[in-house]
Amino acid sequence: PSSLTISRPVVLIGLMGAGKTTVGRRLAELLALPFKDADEEIEDAANMSVADIFETYGEGYFREGERKVIERLLSEGPMVLATGGGAFMNAATRELVKLKAISIWLRADLDLLVKRTAQKATRPLLQQGDAREILARLLKERAPVYAEADIVVDSLEGPHLKTVNRIIKAL
Ligand code: S3P
Protein backbone atom coordinates (compact mmCIF):
# COMPACT_ATOMS: atom_id res chain seq x y z
CA PRO A 1 0.00 0.00 0.00
CA SER A 2 1.06 3.51 -0.74
CA SER A 3 1.67 6.04 2.01
CA LEU A 4 0.30 8.87 -0.13
CA THR A 5 -2.44 10.93 1.42
CA ILE A 6 -5.05 11.82 -1.15
CA SER A 7 -7.35 14.61 -0.08
CA ARG A 8 -9.56 14.84 -3.18
CA PRO A 9 -11.32 12.25 -5.31
CA VAL A 10 -9.15 10.83 -8.10
CA VAL A 11 -11.15 10.70 -11.32
CA LEU A 12 -10.13 8.56 -14.27
CA ILE A 13 -11.14 9.80 -17.70
CA GLY A 14 -10.44 8.52 -21.20
CA LEU A 15 -12.01 6.53 -23.99
CA MET A 16 -13.84 3.24 -23.79
CA GLY A 17 -11.24 0.50 -23.53
CA ALA A 18 -8.57 2.67 -21.93
CA GLY A 19 -8.80 0.55 -18.78
CA LYS A 20 -10.41 3.06 -16.44
CA THR A 21 -12.38 0.50 -14.44
CA THR A 22 -9.63 -2.10 -14.11
CA VAL A 23 -6.90 0.43 -13.39
CA GLY A 24 -9.23 2.33 -11.06
CA ARG A 25 -9.96 -0.74 -8.95
CA ARG A 26 -6.29 -1.54 -8.47
CA LEU A 27 -5.36 2.05 -7.83
CA ALA A 28 -8.05 2.29 -5.15
CA GLU A 29 -6.75 -0.86 -3.49
CA LEU A 30 -3.20 0.46 -3.37
CA LEU A 31 -4.30 3.85 -2.07
CA ALA A 32 -6.73 2.21 0.39
CA LEU A 33 -9.58 4.32 -0.99
CA PRO A 34 -13.10 3.31 -2.01
CA PHE A 35 -13.58 2.59 -5.71
CA LYS A 36 -16.66 3.70 -7.62
CA ASP A 37 -17.61 3.33 -11.26
CA ALA A 38 -19.87 6.11 -12.54
CA ASP A 39 -21.57 3.91 -15.17
CA GLU A 40 -22.44 1.35 -12.50
CA GLU A 41 -23.76 4.04 -10.17
CA ILE A 42 -25.94 5.40 -12.98
CA GLU A 43 -27.25 1.91 -13.70
CA ASP A 44 -28.07 1.42 -10.02
CA ALA A 45 -29.80 4.81 -9.76
CA ALA A 46 -31.86 4.25 -12.91
CA ASN A 47 -32.27 0.52 -12.38
CA MET A 48 -31.45 0.16 -16.09
CA SER A 49 -28.38 -0.66 -18.13
CA VAL A 50 -26.45 2.15 -19.84
CA ALA A 51 -27.46 0.65 -23.19
CA ASP A 52 -31.16 0.70 -22.23
CA ILE A 53 -30.94 4.29 -20.98
CA PHE A 54 -29.43 5.36 -24.32
CA GLU A 55 -32.03 3.43 -26.26
CA THR A 56 -35.07 4.51 -24.26
CA TYR A 57 -34.24 8.10 -23.31
CA GLY A 58 -31.33 9.10 -25.57
CA GLU A 59 -27.80 10.29 -24.92
CA GLY A 60 -28.79 13.75 -23.61
CA TYR A 61 -30.77 12.23 -20.78
CA PHE A 62 -27.92 9.87 -19.96
CA ARG A 63 -25.44 12.79 -19.81
CA GLU A 64 -27.63 14.68 -17.36
CA GLY A 65 -27.99 11.61 -15.13
CA GLU A 66 -24.24 11.07 -15.40
CA ARG A 67 -23.57 14.64 -14.25
CA LYS A 68 -25.86 14.25 -11.25
CA VAL A 69 -24.32 10.96 -10.20
CA ILE A 70 -20.78 12.32 -10.54
CA GLU A 71 -21.73 15.43 -8.56
CA ARG A 72 -23.04 13.24 -5.75
CA LEU A 73 -19.97 10.99 -5.77
CA LEU A 74 -17.56 13.93 -5.76
CA SER A 75 -19.17 15.21 -2.59
CA GLU A 76 -18.50 11.92 -0.80
CA GLY A 77 -14.79 12.60 -0.19
CA PRO A 78 -11.63 10.88 -1.38
CA MET A 79 -12.19 7.87 -3.63
CA VAL A 80 -11.08 6.59 -6.99
CA LEU A 81 -13.82 7.18 -9.55
CA ALA A 82 -13.86 5.67 -13.02
CA THR A 83 -16.08 7.69 -15.35
CA GLY A 84 -17.64 6.76 -18.68
CA GLY A 85 -15.70 7.99 -21.70
CA GLY A 86 -18.08 10.84 -22.46
CA ALA A 87 -18.39 12.26 -18.95
CA PHE A 88 -15.50 14.73 -19.18
CA MET A 89 -16.81 15.91 -22.58
CA ASN A 90 -19.89 17.37 -20.90
CA ALA A 91 -18.99 20.95 -19.96
CA ALA A 92 -20.90 20.91 -16.66
CA THR A 93 -19.40 17.59 -15.59
CA ARG A 94 -15.94 18.71 -16.65
CA GLU A 95 -16.15 21.88 -14.56
CA LEU A 96 -17.23 19.85 -11.53
CA VAL A 97 -14.37 17.41 -11.94
CA LYS A 98 -11.85 20.22 -12.39
CA LEU A 99 -13.11 21.96 -9.28
CA LYS A 100 -13.37 19.01 -6.93
CA ALA A 101 -11.06 16.24 -8.10
CA ILE A 102 -7.66 15.25 -9.40
CA SER A 103 -8.31 14.18 -12.98
CA ILE A 104 -6.24 11.57 -14.78
CA TRP A 105 -6.48 10.92 -18.49
CA LEU A 106 -5.71 7.29 -19.21
CA ARG A 107 -4.44 7.68 -22.75
CA ALA A 108 -4.36 4.68 -25.06
CA ASP A 109 -3.76 4.34 -28.78
CA LEU A 110 -6.41 3.30 -31.26
CA ASP A 111 -5.23 -0.29 -31.74
CA LEU A 112 -5.38 -0.95 -28.03
CA LEU A 113 -8.82 0.66 -27.67
CA VAL A 114 -10.18 -1.44 -30.54
CA LYS A 115 -8.72 -4.60 -29.08
CA ARG A 116 -9.99 -3.98 -25.56
CA THR A 117 -13.50 -2.88 -26.52
CA ALA A 118 -13.97 -5.93 -28.77
CA GLN A 119 -14.26 -8.05 -25.63
CA LYS A 120 -17.44 -6.37 -24.42
CA ALA A 121 -20.37 -5.64 -26.74
CA THR A 122 -22.46 -3.54 -24.36
CA ARG A 123 -21.37 -0.04 -25.38
CA PRO A 124 -24.14 1.75 -27.26
CA LEU A 125 -21.83 4.16 -29.07
CA LEU A 126 -19.90 1.27 -30.61
CA GLN A 127 -23.03 -0.48 -31.86
CA GLN A 128 -23.68 2.22 -34.46
CA GLY A 129 -21.09 1.12 -37.02
CA ASP A 130 -17.50 0.02 -37.37
CA ALA A 131 -15.92 0.18 -33.90
CA ARG A 132 -12.50 1.22 -35.18
CA GLU A 133 -13.93 4.11 -37.21
CA ILE A 134 -16.06 5.27 -34.30
CA LEU A 135 -13.20 5.07 -31.82
CA ALA A 136 -10.88 6.91 -34.25
CA ARG A 137 -13.39 9.74 -34.58
CA LEU A 138 -14.00 9.92 -30.82
CA LEU A 139 -10.26 9.90 -30.13
CA LYS A 140 -9.73 12.83 -32.49
CA GLU A 141 -12.66 14.79 -31.06
CA ARG A 142 -11.98 14.06 -27.44
CA ALA A 143 -8.19 14.03 -27.08
CA PRO A 144 -7.87 17.86 -26.93
CA VAL A 145 -10.45 17.97 -24.13
CA TYR A 146 -9.12 14.96 -22.23
CA ALA A 147 -5.74 16.73 -22.37
CA GLU A 148 -7.14 19.28 -19.91
CA ALA A 149 -6.81 16.63 -17.18
CA ASP A 150 -4.41 17.32 -14.33
CA ILE A 151 -2.34 14.23 -15.11
CA VAL A 152 -1.91 12.25 -18.34
CA VAL A 153 -0.78 8.63 -18.13
CA ASP A 154 -0.34 6.23 -21.05
CA SER A 155 -2.27 3.01 -20.74
CA LEU A 156 -0.06 0.48 -22.47
CA GLU A 157 -0.57 -3.09 -23.53
CA GLY A 158 0.20 -5.60 -20.79
CA PRO A 159 -0.36 -5.64 -17.06
CA HIS A 160 -2.48 -2.82 -15.73
CA LEU A 161 -0.33 -2.76 -12.59
CA LYS A 162 2.38 -0.92 -14.53
CA THR A 163 -0.11 1.77 -15.41
CA VAL A 164 -1.27 1.92 -11.81
CA ASN A 165 2.29 2.36 -10.60
CA ARG A 166 2.86 5.18 -13.06
CA ILE A 167 -0.24 6.93 -11.76
CA ILE A 168 0.94 6.61 -8.17
CA LYS A 169 4.27 8.15 -9.14
CA ALA A 170 2.47 11.04 -10.83
CA LEU A 171 0.15 11.77 -7.91
C1 S3P B 1 -19.40 6.31 -23.27
C2 S3P B 1 -18.62 5.43 -22.56
C3 S3P B 1 -19.17 4.35 -21.72
C4 S3P B 1 -20.59 4.71 -21.24
C5 S3P B 1 -21.44 5.09 -22.41
C6 S3P B 1 -20.89 6.28 -23.21
C7 S3P B 1 -18.74 7.36 -24.10
O8 S3P B 1 -18.33 4.15 -20.60
O9 S3P B 1 -20.58 5.74 -20.31
O10 S3P B 1 -21.55 3.95 -23.22
O11 S3P B 1 -19.40 8.34 -24.48
O12 S3P B 1 -17.52 7.22 -24.36
P13 S3P B 1 -16.87 3.43 -20.69
O14 S3P B 1 -15.88 4.48 -21.13
O15 S3P B 1 -16.63 3.00 -19.29
O16 S3P B 1 -16.99 2.31 -21.65
Residue ranges of domains in the chain, CATH in brackets: 11-161 (3.40.50.300)
d(CA 97, CA 112): 26
Q: What is the CA radius of gyration of the chain?
A: 15
**84 ligand 1 Cβ < 6 A:** yes
**134 ligand 1 Cβ < 6 A:** no
d(CA 162, CA 1): 15
- Quote the pTM value: 0.96
Return the residue whose CA atom lies nearest to atom 12 of ligand 1.
85
How many angstroms separate the alpha carbon of residue 122 from the centre of ligand 1? Answer: 10
Q: Which residues of the chain have pLDDT under 50?
A: none
d(CA 61, CA 4): 37
Mutate to test the pocket of ligand 1, among 25, 39, 116, 137 (most ligand atoms within 8 A of CB): 39
**50 ligand 1 Cβ < 6 A:** yes
- CA-CA distances (angstroms) from residue 129 to 4, 59, 124, 125? 43, 17, 10, 9
**123 ligand 1 Cβ < 6 A:** yes
**Minimum-distance ligand 1 atom for the alpha carbon of 83:** 15
Comparing CA positions, the residue from 56, 18, 57, 20 lying closest to residue 39 is 20
d(CA 127, CA 118): 11
How many angstroms separate the alpha carbon of residue 93 from the centre of ligand 1? Answer: 14
Q: Three-state SS for 141?
A: helix
Packing angle of the helix pair 91-100, 59-74 (nearest 10 deg): 10
